[in-house]
Amino acid sequence: MTSLSHPDLAGALSGRARQMTASTIREVLKLTQQPDIISFAGGLPAAELLPVEAVREATGAVLDRYGSAALQYGATEGHVPLRQWIADRAGITPAHVQIVTGSQQGLDLLGKILIDEGDTVLVESPTYLGALQSFQPYGPRYVQMPTDDDGIDVDALAEMLQHTRAKLLYAIPNFQNPTGRTLSLERRRRLVELTAEHGILVLEDDPYGELRFRGEALPSLYALALEMGLTPDTSHIIYSGSFSKVLAPGLRDAWVQAAPPITEKLVQAKQGADLHTPTLNQMIITELLPTLRQQIARTVGLYRERADVMVRAMQAAFPADVRYTTPEGGMFLWVTLPSADVDTTALMVRAVERKVAYVPGAAFYALGGGHNTMRLNFTAASPEKIVQGIEALAATIREAGESGAAASTPVVV
Amino acid sequence: MTSLSHPDLAGALSGRARQMTASTIREVLKLTQQPDIISFAGGLPAAELLPVEAVREATGAVLDRYGSAALQYGATEGHVPLRQWIADRAGITPAHVQIVTGSQQGLDLLGKILIDEGDTVLVESPTYLGALQSFQPYGPRYVQMPTDDDGIDVDALAEMLQHTRAKLLYAIPNFQNPTGRTLSLERRRRLVELTAEHGILVLEDDPYGELRFRGEALPSLYALALEMGLTPDTSHIIYSGSFSKVLAPGLRDAWVQAAPPITEKLVQAKQGADLHTPTLNQMIITELLPTLRQQIARTVGLYRERADVMVRAMQAAFPADVRYTTPEGGMFLWVTLPSADVDTTALMVRAVERKVAYVPGAAFYALGGGHNTMRLNFTAASPEKIVQGIEALAATIREAGESGAAASTPVVV
């Protein structure tokens, strides 16, 4: 028998791979998988809303109607009736719609076809960690846009654009992940104008838009651009929509709306990435569309109740100087601790000891910062658990304020 | 109303995107979607084998057992019972197994974590077009390895490696796409040795290995490396397996087996690419595993018959100087026309006029060549259609030989 030499596997990794790191969220979620932990960390829809019986029936109907075609290879662009439904709703055509395997895939493919090494990508501070992960392999230079309670500060952005050339602006206008904030209508208009003026593409990520439980719905940046004179063939707004938060994340079905120069490249990129989104899943989603309004109404009702319970519990239990957002929809709210010395990453160990978990806010900053912040999910736990978890979190926060110990423990979670 | 300027969308594409082109296969498949065409072009499993009733039952069983968990977010690594089954079969552990959304995704993610711009990737000539598409965005420098009827010519490769440093070798040892050829056992051993000696990673793509309808099964490169003294933790062989050709491609379920330095990076890359493979689909596949042997036996029986019908039809109808492979399994065979002047890409227009289609062989060469070759699929059409299609193709080939016209028509399909 020949004795083979051991190759240097780690040494064979690409520069791109060396820059990838295990995400904080991922590691945190591992910490929280003990069953007695009350987790505000994940971004999971409430399990009791997932339409198990409807999916069972839809699968039967799809297999009856399509037979083996439901299990066969399909078109890279996606299932035509699904693309048509999305197009009709947005007043565009299927040529402007690409189906993707979860909106995360849309972020990856858009990064691949748009970002050259060193291109400037404008991101909110904080922003969705998963977008940063998707773009990272393509070598962007991140520039953080300042934000406040109405989302991106467009005046500050206008000033910034006087001396910053950017390729792409990434934004989550509705119930932002991680802060739960919503971009005001006035600012939406200004953002569409500013980016058109400076020739900057906008990636509008909107997984939560349908989950509004209070206040009035606002038009998407994509819809505003059409109102303001652009067409689906010329718009610089790329819209990312998803069925994960309104039907079922485990089916991994989402879409991108964009002008054909973008969608045509998306098709080519997707062909190399996974050929097409699973056929059966797209057909099941299409079959569920007539129940979508009802499913959203049920979801919004439950999330309103849970958000209110969480906010009331924080009012009752948190120290008065802890600040937090009060979202009008979505799945998350954002907590800021008063002392800039407290490190919520270090604090996680204490929180888990008290059987409660969150995501440390620092993970959501492209360029660092936010060490005294945390993201809380209010959709996955029951109202009783929410109250119990917030009380445990309040105790953790008070303890940290008293001892200051959390600032000095260099624990990486 | 403000009049917004139209941004230069095409100008915003990345260099990576500009290099992507519409694939020939894709365009050819469009040509062949007229229902009266007999298509040998696709790589589709026989529709009548797709397990519609089994999937219906499996879906019901999965929803009974897992309830909402079947529709919820899942772990990036994949469904544990599925990874365990794959690991047990290969004598490894789940830590060596990453589930991917079709083997195409495995190719993309491996390209992303392994290939730096300018890295040399050794490929067969011809090779699987989809792999070239997956790797292309990461900037490889392709070097073609010479092949013959026993697959990669390892002596020529040994010589080549005296003066060529390579990062990765991509090979399809069983019933290769597009040629249908199989790498001999002797050459497999030598290939494992040679690549270990030179520190070259091997990506062994094996979607067809289970579809052997004649001759004796050969061990995978992955298994040979373990026999030859490497361990699952140190092996330089990365194995890509798939359920697409043995169960159902529309479910998009496949896997990668590799040493932990590779699988750990795959997890991180996959998290940014689509978070995880659809939960429901992985559970359905797992539910179908007890029927897999039977399903493979049925598939192999049908494909043997169809391959034999195609070969006999070619013997009867093709000009005597046309050469073709006679595979022992898989889905494809490879035809070489005698005149190097004939261009099978141009010839496609004539073939489609005669209601038959194939994939022009040039598409499968990383660096050009093969203009007088074509790939034929023998699994998707019925025996009657195969005979009819081969006769139409024979007439097309004879006509081209007589007129020579196909060489001068610059039609791009």
* Domain B54-290, CATH number (from 3.30.70.1350, 3.40.50.10860, 3.40.640.10, 3.30.450.20): 3.40.640.10
Sheet-wide strand order for A237-242: A97-100, A254-257, A237-242, A201-205, A168-171, A120-124, A141-145
Instruction: Return the ∠ at Cα B43 (arms to B38 and B45), rounded to 5°.
Output: 90
Q: Is the pLDDT higher at A99 or at A404?
A: A99
- pLDDT higher than threshold 50 for residue A410: no
Whether A33 and chain B come into contact, CB under 8 Å, resolves to no
The per-residue pLDDT for range B250-281, each reduced to its tens digit, is: 999 999 999 999 999 999 999 999 999 999 99
- pLDDT higher than threshold 90 for residue A34: no
Residues contacting residue A151 through CB under 8 Å, at least 6 positions apart: A124, A171, A173, A176, A181, A182, A183, A184, A187
Whether A22 and chain B come into contact, CB under 8 Å, resolves to yes
Looking from the CA of A67 toward its CB, the CA atoms found within 13 Å total 4
Q: Indicate the average pLDDT of chain B.
A: 93
Whether A230 and chain B come into contact, CB under 8 Å, resolves to yes
**Residue-range domain boundaries for chain B:** 22-50+294-407, 54-290
Contact at CB, A13 and B113, closer than 8 angstroms: yes
User: Residue A20's pLDDT is what?
Assistant: 85
Q: Which residues of A touch B115 (CB under 8 A)?
A: 14
Calculated CA dihedral for residues B200, B202, B203, B207, nearest 10 degrees: 170
Calculated CA dihedral for residues A226, A231, A235, A238, nearest 10 degrees: 70
Residues contacting residue B294 through CB under 8 Å, at least 6 positions apart: none
Please state the rounded mean pLDDT for residues A194-200.
96
Please state the rounded mean pLDDT for residues B192-216.
97
- pLDDT higher than threshold 50 for residue A105: yes
CATH class of A17-51+294-407: alpha beta
- d(CA B17, CA A107) in angstroms, rounded, equals 15
DSSP-H helix ranges across A42-197: 52-66, 80-90, 103-114, 129-135, 154-161, 185-197
- pLDDT higher than threshold 50 for residue A49: yes
Residues of A (93-132) whose Cβ lies below 8 Å from B: 101-102, 104-105, 107-108, 112-116, 119, 130
User: Residue B1's pLDDT is what?
Assistant: 46
- pLDDT higher than threshold 50 for residue A411: no
Question: Percentage helix, strand, coil, to 5, in chain B?
Answer: 50, 15, 40
User: Residue B246's pLDDT is what?
Assistant: 97
Contact at CB, B63 and A76, closer than 8 angstroms: no
- d(CA B178, CA B175) in angstroms, rounded, equals 8
Are B22-50+294-407 and B54-290 the same fold in CATH?
no
User: Residue B27's pLDDT is what?
Assistant: 66
Contact at CB, B274 and A137, closer than 8 angstroms: no
The per-residue pLDDT for range B70-88, each reduced to its tens digit, is: 999 999 999 999 999 999 9
Residues contacting residue A297 through CB under 8 Å, at least 6 positions apart: none
Instruction: Return the ∠ at Cα B330 (arms to B326 and B335), rounded to 5°.
Output: 40
Contact at CB, A14 and B115, closer than 8 angstroms: yes
The per-residue pLDDT for range A204-246, each reduced to its tens digit, is: 999 999 999 999 999 999 999 999 999 999 999 999 999 999 9
Residue of B nearest to A235 (CA): B6
Percentage of chain B beyond pLDDT 70 is 94
- pLDDT higher than threshold 70 for residue A342: yes
Please state the rounded mean pLDDT for residues B352-371.
94
Q: Are A201 and B12 in contact (CB under 8 A)?
A: yes
How many angstroms separate the CA of residue B413 from the nearest CA in chain A? 16
Residue labelled with tokens 């999910």? A377
Q: Are B273 and A133 in contact (CB under 8 A)?
A: no
* Domain A72-290, CATH number (from 3.90.1150.10, 3.40.50.620, 3.40.50.150, 3.40.640.10): 3.40.640.10
- d(CA B169, CA B160) in angstroms, rounded, equals 13
Q: Which residues of B touch A102 (CB under 8 A)?
A: 274-275
- d(CA B280, CA B334) in angstroms, rounded, equals 37
The per-residue pLDDT for range B230-239, each reduced to its tens digit, is: 999 999 999 9
Please state the rounded mean pLDDT for residues A91-100.
98
Interface test with B, best of A14, A138, A168 (most B CBs within 10 A): A14
Please state the rounded mean pLDDT for residues A348-373.
94
The per-residue pLDDT for range A124-165, each reduced to its tens digit, is: 999 999 999 999 999 999 999 999 999 999 999 999 999 999
β pairing state of B168-171 and B201-205 = parallel
Q: What region does B91 belong to: left with phi over 0, alpha with psi -120 to 50, or beta? A: left
User: Residue A157's pLDDT is what?
Assistant: 98
- Examine the predicted complex and report whether its ipTM is higher than 0.90: yes
Please state the rounded mean pLDDT for residues A314-318.
98
B1: nearest CB among A14, A228, A252:
A228
Q: Are A141 and A121 in contact (CB under 8 A)?
A: yes
Please state the rounded mean pLDDT for residues A336-352.
91
β pairing state of B237-242 and B254-257 = antiparallel
Contact at CB, A73 and B133, closer than 8 angstroms: no
- pLDDT higher than threshold 90 for residue B407: no
Nearest Cα neighbor of A330 from A126, A148, A180 is A180
Q: B73 to each of A45, A186, A248, A271, how far by Cα in Å? A: 9, 35, 8, 24
Please state the rounded mean pLDDT for residues A195-202.
96
User: Residue B19's pLDDT is what?
Assistant: 86
Residues of A (174-193) whose Cβ lies below 8 Å from B: 192-193
In the three-class reduction of DSSP (H, G, I as helix; E, B as strand; rest coil), residue B99 is classed as strand
Nearest Cα neighbor of B377 from B368, B389, B365 is B389
User: Residue A7's pLDDT is what?
Assistant: 76
Residue of B nearest to A108 (CA): B273
Number of H-type helices and E-type strands within chain B: 14, 15
User: Residue A404's pLDDT is what?
Assistant: 54
β pairing state of A168-171 and A201-205 = parallel
Contact at CB, B138 and A16, closer than 8 angstroms: yes
- d(CA A17, CA B119) in angstroms, rounded, equals 14
Q: Are A6 and B197 in contact (CB under 8 A)?
A: no
How many angstroms separate the CA of residue A177 from the nearest CA in chain B? 16
The per-residue pLDDT for range B286-336, each reduced to its tens digit, is: 999 999 999 999 999 999 999 999 999 999 999 999 999 999 999 999 999
- pLDDT higher than threshold 50 for residue B405: no
Looking at mean pLDDT, say which of B285-294, B344-353, B400-409 comes out highest.
B285-294
User: Residue A409's pLDDT is what?
Assistant: 40
- For residue A1, name the pLDDT band (cuts at 50, 70, 90): very low
How many angstroms separate the CA of residue A413 from the nearest CA in chain B? 16
Residue of A nearest to B119 (CA): A14
User: Residue B25's pLDDT is what?
Assistant: 62
User: Residue B412's pLDDT is what?
Assistant: 34
- d(CA A29, CA A156) in angstroms, rounded, equals 35
- pLDDT higher than threshold 70 for residue A407: no
- d(CA B141, CA B15) in angstroms, rounded, equals 16
Q: Find out whether the peptide bond into A140 is cis, omega within 30 degrees of 0.
A: no
CATH class of B22-50+294-407: alpha beta
Q: Are B70 and B100 in contact (CB under 8 A)?
A: no
Residues of A (39-58) whose Cβ lies below 8 Å from B: 42-45, 47-48, 50-52, 55-56
- pLDDT higher than threshold 80 for residue A28: no
Nearest Cα neighbor of B251 from A176, A274, A55, A47 is A274
Interface test with A, best of B1, B3, B16, B191 (most A CBs within 10 A): B16
Contact at CB, B56 and A74, closer than 8 angstroms: no
Contact at CB, B7 and A276, closer than 8 angstroms: no
Whether A75 and chain B come into contact, CB under 8 Å, resolves to no
User: Residue A355's pLDDT is what?
Assistant: 96
Instruction: Return the ∠ at Cα B273 (arms to B271 and B277), rounded to 5°.
Output: 70
Calculated CA dihedral for residues A366, A369, A371, A376, nearest 10 degrees: -50
A59: nearest CB among B4, B59, B228:
B59
